[in-house]
Structure 1
């Protein structure tokens, strides 16, 4: 149980900027438990967003509410996954050979493709969040969306090989098996049973991860931390689109 507790705290430390005043051991056991807790931490982030949204929705206009929730969403993660999105966009936008793409991804400088990806990603995410709330959905819908986004990251770590024998993704990947993915599923599965249209969110996430995984395998030969982070951001955006579509058409 100690490994499970440390694993949960490690996941909170790694995925969020929530204060955890404890040094967690970095071992294969704690990494396995941390990966299993990814969706739970996503649900925690979504719960904070849902609570804040519920408090503000009666007094704040929808555009400002969507912007406030988006800002808090970024702040909770510290922009961790957005950094991966920008690095991936710069590497793909270069249209360079494989080794050059890897060098660009490791470069701490952000290029024009990364900036454009960040701007349009946040614009679409904010617009879809606004549209989802305007369609009548509760801010608590963000709980399953954030949980599923991080489940997608675990799915990639388990299902794909690391492209290089180095870095965070390789370290996580070495410790994980399919059992860890199965143990990460109960939290988002319970959340999907709680929201209308949950099956569509699950199917949408599965389709996104399969297509994304095939695309990055072709482009890079495997994954690294930036690719996993970009998948979490992309998965959340895709799930927002599915949720808005459901509320706008199926619930109309």
Structure 2
């Protein structure tokens, strides 16, 4: 039970800016539990954003509400995964040999491709969130969506090898098996059970992670922490698109 509790705190510290000021032991057991509760942390973040949406919805017009919720969404994560998107965009945009791409990804400087990726990612998220709210979708759907996004990160860690035997992604992988992925999937699948279009979201996430994982193996030879973070952001955007498509064309 102590490993499970530390695992929850570890996941909160890694995935959010929520206060968890306790030093957690970095052991195989705590890493396994942290990965298992990644979706739980996502659901918590989604609930905080959705709760704010419920309070602000009567007060703000839809465009401002969507912007407020996205701002809170980014603030709660501290932009952690956005950093991965930017590093990955600079590396891919360089069109350089493999070793140079790795060097660019590790470089702290921000390039033009990173800025473009950040702007378009947030613009698309804002537009899709706006469209969903404008169509009458409940902000509480974000609970399942953010949980699924982090499940995608666990799926990538379990199914795609690290490109190099170093870094956080490699360290996590030494402790994880498909059993951990199955346990991590329990909460998101339970949240989707009674949600219209839930099966489409689950299937869509699977397609995204498989395609993304294959692409990263081809381009980089595997994954690292930045690639996993970018997968969470990209997965959330993909899920927002699926949710909007379902709400607009199937339930219309």
Please indicate the TM-score interval, normalised by the length of the shorter structure: over 0.9
Cα deviation per residue 1:178-198 (whole Å; 9 max; x = unaligned)? 111011011001110131110
C-alpha distance in structure 2 between counterparts of 1:123 and 1:194, whole Å: 30
Distance apart, 1:214 and its partner CA:
0.6
Stretches of structure 2 that go unaligned for 5 or more consecutive residues are none
1:88 aligns to what?
A: 88
1:227 aligns to what?
A: 227
2:108 aligns to what?
A: 108
Stretches of structure 1 that go unaligned for 5 or more consecutive residues are none
C-alpha distance in structure 1 between counterparts of 2:109 and 2:162, whole Å: 23
C-alpha distance in structure 1 between counterparts of 2:225 and 2:110, whole Å: 16
1:74 aligns to what?
A: 74
Distance apart, 1:58 and its partner CA:
1.1
Cα deviation per residue 1:68-100 (whole Å; 9 max; x = unaligned)? 000000001000000000000000000000000
C-alpha distance in structure 2 between counterparts of 1:162 and 1:82, whole Å: 20
C-alpha distance in structure 2 between counterparts of 1:220 and 1:132, whole Å: 35
The answer to whether the aligner puts 1:29 opposite 2:29 as a matched pair is: yes
SS in 1 for 2:140: helix
C-alpha distance in structure 2 between counterparts of 1:26 and 1:162, whole Å: 19
1:17 aligns to what?
A: 17
2:208 aligns to what?
A: 208
SS in 1 for 2:40: helix
C-alpha distance in structure 1 between counterparts of 2:147 and 2:80, whole Å: 16
The correspondence of residues 160-239 of structure 1 with structure 2, limited to 5 A, is 160-239=160-239
2:123 aligns to what?
A: 123
Aligned length: 252
Distance apart, 1:155 and its partner CA:
0.2
C-alpha distance in structure 2 between counterparts of 1:69 and 1:167, whole Å: 32
C-alpha distance in structure 2 between counterparts of 1:3 and 1:203, whole Å: 32
TM-score, scaled to structure 2: 0.99
C-alpha distance in structure 1 between counterparts of 2:208 and 2:160, whole Å: 14
C-alpha distance in structure 1 between counterparts of 2:166 and 2:21, whole Å: 28
Distance apart, 1:238 and its partner CA:
0.3
C-alpha distance in structure 1 between counterparts of 2:52 and 2:193, whole Å: 23
Cα deviation per residue 1:191-232 (whole Å; 9 max; x = unaligned)? 101311100000100000011011111000000000000000
Q: Which structure 1 residue ranges, 4+ long, deviate > 2 Å from structure 2?
A: none
TM-score, scaled to structure 1: 0.99
C-alpha distance in structure 2 between counterparts of 1:160 and 1:203, whole Å: 18
